[in-house]
């Protein structure tokens, strides 16, 4: 994808900034919209300084801002959201406002502006804790948190805009994405940046539950590539976005300690509400639909992630 006009909502966040970095380096005209509630300007500051990226501080809850920005653009990658299951349990109304109303605003503005396609960041949390593995897109969703409900509602809006208005959309259900530019400092931080920084700082690892829960981790470079592939394809619909393999959190912790050459204690605490026990994706639909094959396994991804955190 080169020489296109592209908007990335949430482009100062973790996944968004990785996507922005790739697109900007391919000579695309990239505009980032982010209100910096969870994103960080320093994630894209070097690109702004080099005039590779235009930054607009604004929220997806402001329809008029989106309507102004989207005019004349080819693609919208919609990464903006209030992430985190625990946060959504504390703040269900705000989660609804940003993730559902905000996504509807993005779709309305994009359709009005004649954008070619919206690629929406959904979440594996829509599946809930159904015992069937691997998770397939044909399964009935079973959201267990306001966050999961909000992501599923966004998917349904995407599907309806494709069905009713003929407006092309893709929803990618991200499974535990990790990599550079992920924030370890937030109380809602994801497990890998938390574990890595705890080990690098010689602190004990805090593990919620018994550590036997499994996750299908996805390296962020694979997610970026999948976003580009879906934009360039003629496909619409919902697709799992994952590594296609799972690991227990206990094994994850041991692997991180080995790669960091630091040994620390693991402290086990109670299971958090909304957390699921096991997660594994069937990625065959994405492979067939737009040629997605993950290039990183967990060891390769962790090595690059740890190197970034060490810098």
In this model, does residue 143 exceed pLDDT 70?
A: yes
**Structure tokens of 98?**
């940003």
pLDDT digits (tens, 9 = 90+) for 22-74: 999 999 999 999 999 999 999 999 999 999 999 999 999 999 999 999 999 99
**Structure tokens of 247?**
């690991």
**What is the rounded average pLDDT of the residues 207-215?**
94
**What is the rounded average pLDDT of the residues 182-191?**
79
- Helix ranges restricted to H, 53-181: 63-70, 85-90, 92-96, 102-113, 146-165
Q: Which residue has the tokens 């893709």?
A: 170
pLDDT digits (tens, 9 = 90+) for 160-185: 999 999 999 999 999 999 999 998 88
Percent pLDDT > 90 in the chain is 92
Q: What is the pLDDT of residue 187?
A: 63
Q: What is the pLDDT of residue 197?
A: 95
Q: How far, in Å, CA of 10 to CA of 82, rounded?
A: 10
Percent pLDDT > 70 in the chain is 99
Q: Which residue has the tokens 């909304």?
A: 274
Q: What is the pLDDT of residue 273?
A: 79
Q: What is the pLDDT of residue 209?
A: 93
pLDDT digits (tens, 9 = 90+) for 258-280: 999 999 999 999 988 777 889 99
The Cβ-side half-sphere exposure at 89, using a 13 Å CA radius, reads 11
pLDDT digits (tens, 9 = 90+) for 98-117: 999 999 999 999 999 999 99
- pTM assigned to the model: 0.95
Q: What is the pLDDT of residue 188?
A: 63
- All domains in the chain, ordered by first residue: 5-178+218-242+282-295 (3.40.50.720)
In this model, does residue 186 exceed pLDDT 80?
A: no
- Assign 3-class secondary structure to 153-169: HHHHHHHHHHHHHCCCE
Q: What is the pLDDT of residue 129?
A: 85
């Amino acid at each position: 994808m080169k020489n296109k006009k592209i908007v990335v909502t949430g482009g100062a966040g973790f996944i968004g900034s990785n996507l922005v970095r790739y697109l900007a380096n391919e000579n695309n005209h990239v505009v980032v919209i982010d209100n910096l509630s969870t994103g960080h300007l320093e994630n894209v500051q070097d690109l702004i300084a080099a005039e590779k990226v235009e930054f607009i501080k604004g929220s997806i809850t402001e329809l008029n801002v989106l309507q102004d920005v989207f005019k004349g653009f080819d693609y919208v990658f919609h990464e903006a959201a209030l992430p985190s299951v625990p946060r959504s349990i504390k703040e269900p109304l705000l989660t609804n406002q940003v993730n559902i109303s905000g996504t509807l605003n993005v779709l309305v503005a994009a359709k009005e502006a004649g954008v070619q396609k919206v690629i929406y960041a959904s979440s594996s949390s829509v599946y809930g804790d159904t015992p069937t593995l691997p998770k397939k897109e044909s399964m009935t969703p079973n959201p267990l948190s306001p966050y999961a409900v909000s992501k599923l509602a966004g998917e349904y809006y995407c599907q309806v805009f494709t069905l009713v208005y003929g407006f092309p959309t893709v929803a990618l259900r991200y499974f535990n994405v990790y990599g550079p530019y992920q924030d370890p400092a937030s109380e809602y931080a994801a497990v890998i940046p938390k574990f890595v920084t705890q080990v690098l700082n010689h602190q004990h690892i805090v593990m919620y539950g018994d550590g036997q829960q499994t996750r299908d981790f996805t390296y962020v470079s694979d997610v970026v590539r999948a976003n580009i592939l879906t934009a360039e394809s003629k496909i619409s619909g919902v697709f799992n976005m994952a590594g296609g393999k799972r690991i227990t959190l206990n094994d994850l912790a041991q692997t991180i300690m080995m790669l960091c050459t630091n040994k620390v204690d693991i402290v086990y605490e109670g299971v958090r509400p909304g957390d699921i026990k096991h997660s594994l994706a069937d990625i065959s639909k994405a492979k067939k639909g737009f040629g997605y094959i993950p290039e990183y396994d967990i060891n390769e991804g962790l090595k690059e992630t740890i190197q970034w955190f060490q810098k």
